[in-house]
Amino acid sequence: MASGRDDRDQTEEVRTAIRVGDPIESGEVCPVEQIPDPCALVIFGASGDLTRRKLIPSLFYLDRKGLLPDNLYIVGAARTEMTDDAFRDLLREGVRKAEAETFDEAAWAAFAKRLFYRPTSYADLAAFRDLGGVLSSLDREFRTGGNRLYYLAVPPSLYTPITTQLGESGLAKAEGGYRRVVIEKPFGRDLRSARELDEHIHQVFSEAQIFRIDHYLGKETVQNILIFRFMNAIFEPIWNRRYVDHVQITAAETLGVENRAGYYEHAGVLRDMFQNHMLQLLALTAMEPPSRFAADAVREEKTKVFRSLRPIPLEHLEEHLVLGQYGPGQIEGQSVRGYREEPGIEPASQTPTFAAMKFHVDNWRWQGVPFYVRSGKRMARKVTEIAIQFKRIPHLMLQAVMDESIAPNVLILRIQPDERIRLAFQTKSPGFKSCLRQVMMDFCYQDAGKGVALDAYERVLLDAMLGDQMLFVREEAVNLTWTLLTPVLEAIENNDRVPPFPNYDAGTAGPSDAHQLLERGDDRWRPL
């Protein structure tokens, strides 16, 4: 990123690190820990991969850490015929795989007593009424007070039929307790479909009952962005156009489409990553300080960023967007096939698996500061990070040193795979000569944390039970991001010109044209 030397060489050559993380004398300041009220969690699509790999392992972890209410039960609902015991056996294998070294058989046996299963046809009103009878009986047994959280772990095409049946069967109607619904992304595939989906769901649930999940927002570093920015007086004054040169946001994966070909072929990287994850990270980076650390205030400031995003000029789209699709290549020494050779993918597919975009936030704080955003599959390494590059020094005191050799200060908020915050700055090397070297101040969550570490799904599940919508996306934000991206998608998909796909090898940093987005010739994407 805007450096005459490769960032990887810098960090390896000058491996000096200032370790951060041990609490100083004042100790930690923590809010009172909350345990959710007793409730029922009903998972639609419970026989699927998301439930087995993510949801149940997350709930089991929360239970072992004492963060779930004692009077919680979980009902799986799906079209697959299965008994309670078969359902528990299926989930046990998922948890064993997730906790290969720490799996506790006795703890699982106790947890499994809370698990139940009900075969449910999503188009059958009678099946939902039968499910309601099961839930009423379990509510009395577990004394939940009628609190219910419905989780739609299903393809987007099923959101409408399931919420329709929840409404017509009376399961959405609160009877003494709350009713909430958690909806996975993608929320629509363009502005029109998102609005239609909102209109339908609002016939059954109010906006306060709808929890649109974006699991990226549950990651520890993402949550810490707000604390880092607004609770430290040394950073907030320089978080603006006067000191920041540009911002880079990257979400790179080494994986291909895996078992998601059916979905991904009709979505592509812009729908899959940009409309939700990437623009949410941009909003958290660019937002103003909220008046208070509460869901409505934080979400309003994020929405203001979406309102301020400059529309992409379609007549100069190539200056703001670069698309790519991976071909065959090498990942960690192993040969991998190209996207068009993946099972379930069209041989002449024009679906992009990589995108790099340039955004501008037209407000007082960020006027003139470009935000470069990229995401892709089959990249050189897996990393998600936000890099804030500060402006170069205005005057070079060391006349013998060329300006190109002075790397700018960079603040790196690493979200995955290793959650950390790093600050690159210049120091003098030991010795007689005034030689500069770049060093890293490095704070790693894994090294410093003393509390219970929660991953993304653990955090959002807990917050949904608590009714805290801070990490969930509200209706206006969804519509604003689709308003920005829908014209771009239409321009791409209505273009008769066949893109030169594949245009990057698997295991690389994406198409070379992506570098042309950066405004100065010496700027570079951070290396992957």
């570490």: which residue's tokens?
A: 453
Give the strand pairing for 321-324 and 354-360.
antiparallel
Q: Point out the catalytic residue in the list 215, 277, 320, 395.
A: 277
Nearest by Cα to 384 from 456, 475, 479: 456
Nearest one of 221, 226, 227 to 29, comparing CA atoms = 227
Q: Walk across the sheet containing 436-444 and list its strands.
A: 17-20, 436-444, 420-428, 410-416, 383-390, 244-252, 370-376, 354-360, 321-324
Residue 220: count other Cβ atoms within 10 Å of its Cβ: 18
Gap between the Cα atoms of 416 and 133, Å rounded: 43
CA end-to-end distance (rounded Å), the chain: 11
| Type of residue found at 202 | H
Q: Which residues is 458 bridged to in the sheet?
A: none
Query: Could you please report the per-residue DSSP string of 196-261?
Result: HHHHHHTTTS-GGGEEEE-GGGGSHHHHHHHHHHHS-TTTGGGSSTTTEEEEEEEEE-S---TT-H
Element (H, E) at 482: helix 475-493
Q: Which of 475, 22, 482, 447 is nearest to 206 (CA)?
A: 475
- Amino acid at the residue 93: E
Give the phi and the psi of residue 279 in degrees, each rounded to 5. -70, -25
277 catalytic, yes or no?
Answer: yes
Strand 326-327 with 72-78, pairing = unpaired
Token pair 């004692």: residue: 70
Backbone angles phi, psi at 49, to 5 degrees: -65, -40
Whole-angstrom CA distances from 121 to 56, 127, 131, 347, 408 are 22, 6, 10, 35, 58
- Do the beta carbons of residue 416 and residue 384 sit within 8 Å? yes
Active-site positions read 277
